[in-house]
Structure 1
Amino acid sequence: MPTSKDTDKVAVITGASSGIGASTARALAAAGYTVALIARRAERIEALAGELDNGSIAIAADVTDRDTLVAAAGRVEKELGRVDVLLNNAGVMLLGPFDAERKDDYKQMLDVNLLGAITATEVFLPLLRAGGGGDLVNLSSVAGRTARPGNGVYAATKWGLNGWSEALRQELQPDVRVIVIEPGAVATELTDHITHEETKRGAEKMYEQMAITPEDIAEIIAFAVTRPKSVSLNEILVRPTVQP
């Protein structure tokens, strides 16, 4: 089913400089949304805003720095006037054995994957509510449903994201729909940042064999947020067909 056009609507996407975030920006722009692209890598999102060429704006901000998010929200309100979709997409996947050598990785995952999403939502929720409601989309993972050796803290952040999302779904309905997307292996930059070399090699090999594209997930997100307001796709698990 084709995605309907939602002209004059605004989406805010964190982690918009690459992967699922950038692909979703393109998908939502095609569906008629103006997009506020939020990421740390300013050059990338500025180039993407130019590519979209529809009034979308690039805002350099870090989800672990609330002050930058507050400034971003102020700019969105001033320049775009509203928020209809907030996609909490920023995330890191720093897999590896559980030991003290990776304590900095654990903190980064908690700060970005879980606290970053919570902070971005807290900051943008007033704008999301102001127009009579919108869609809060949280990018989780298949790791939010299951866990395995080497992904314990990453899984903890995604299980936490899922639990928080379900509480928010009940708290914010019917004004704001809360949608959780749980991808399996997707060909993004996530594996590039793994610091444990053996784990990184294994993850890269697995992803080379089975990963689906960011566009696959972007299409699903665009479909979910363009459903009639009487319909809420609360939780969507998406694996590559061959993923165990």
Structure 2
Amino acid sequence: MDIPTTSHTSRSNRDTKTVLVTGATRGIGRAIAEDLGRDHHIIVGGRHRDAVDKVVSALPDASPFIADLADEEATAAAVSRLHHLDVLVNSAGVAAQSPIASQSRDEWRRVLEINVIAVADLTRLVLPLLRASHGDVVMINSGSGFLRTPAGGGLYAASKYALRALTHALREEERGVVRVTSIHPGRVDTDMQVELQAQSGRPYVASEHLRPQSVAAAVRAALEASPEAMIEELSIRPVFRN
């Protein structure tokens, strides 16, 4: 098993916020890491060392956080190596799209484990650090956790509605100590979205989707809100109606 580490690859600046981004090796997570990496130290979260190291080496100030978040022991071990944290961005997630009649109990477990349980557990583990820094938690949710659920989207939407409920509760429990923001993007131009559209038989047109960088900009806006303010929920959707 890979041994996570938090050693910096370049400059160390006490005035720079330390941000852990999960799912940071691709898609929305990588866009967030690249955007915030312009002026923060990024802890790059991912399962595979090669992919994580590639992102770390491309950022001005970054370190790796290598763990399969579905693995409770690996996650706890990775967190034990953190000594300071200002921001947690929970971006890692898995997609699912099929009729409920065809979904096994194992598939429900797989999706809920990554999209809800792992998020709750990681957040719990780093909360002492975030409380100490009066930091932020940003949950990358989905339009599926905000809108009416279409046919075939029940499992994924169930996980995202559960994540929304978790986020609401966390916000009230930590109010005044840790800010908690929920970001709900519509369809985003990522590899995951390409796969989903292929499964549904819908022609894929990248320009009809949000750019990952637009979601990253929304995350930055939440983090840069003045100290007395908190962006609680933010829905960001493509201009194109989809």
Whether the 8 Å contact between 2:91 and 2:139 is mirrored in structure 1 is yes
The yes-or-no answer on 1:49 pairing with 2:56 is yes
In the superposition, relative to structure 1, how do residues 207 and 76 fare at CA in structure 2: closer, same or farther (>3 Å)? Answer: farther
For residues 11 and 174 of structure 1, the distance between their equivalents in structure 2, rounded to whole angstroms, comes to 20
The 5 Å alignment of 1:3-22 reads 7-22=15-30
Aligned residues: 228
The residue that corresponds to 1:3 in the other structure is none
The 5 Å alignment of 1:153-232 reads 153-191=155-193, 200-202=198-200, 205-206=203-204, 208=206, 210-232=208-230
Structure 1 SS opposite 2:210: coil
For residues 189 and 105 of structure 1, the distance between their equivalents in structure 2, rounded to whole angstroms, comes to 20
Structure 2 SS opposite 1:95: coil
Q: CA deviation at 1:204?
A: 5.9
Q: Aligned AA for 2:80?
A: G
For residues 169 and 229 of structure 1, the distance between their equivalents in structure 2, rounded to whole angstroms, comes to 15
Segment drifting more, 12-21 vs 60-69: 60-69
The partner residue of 1:108 within 107, 110, 129 is: 110
Percent identical across equivalent pairs?
29
Structure 2 SS opposite 1:93: coil
- TM superposition score normalised by structure 2: 0.88
In the superposition, relative to structure 1, how do residues 93 and 41 fare at CA in structure 2: closer, same or farther (>3 Å)? Answer: same
In structure 2, the gaps of 5 or more residues are: 1-13
For residues 109 and 212 of structure 1, the distance between their equivalents in structure 2, rounded to whole angstroms, comes to 23
For residues 181 and 136 of structure 1, the distance between their equivalents in structure 2, rounded to whole angstroms, comes to 11
The residue that corresponds to 2:76 in the other structure is 70
Whether the 8 Å contact between 2:65 and 2:78 is mirrored in structure 1 is yes
In structure 1, the gaps of 5 or more residues are: 1-5
The yes-or-no answer on 1:59 pairing with 2:59 is no
Q: Aligned AA for 1:119?
A: D
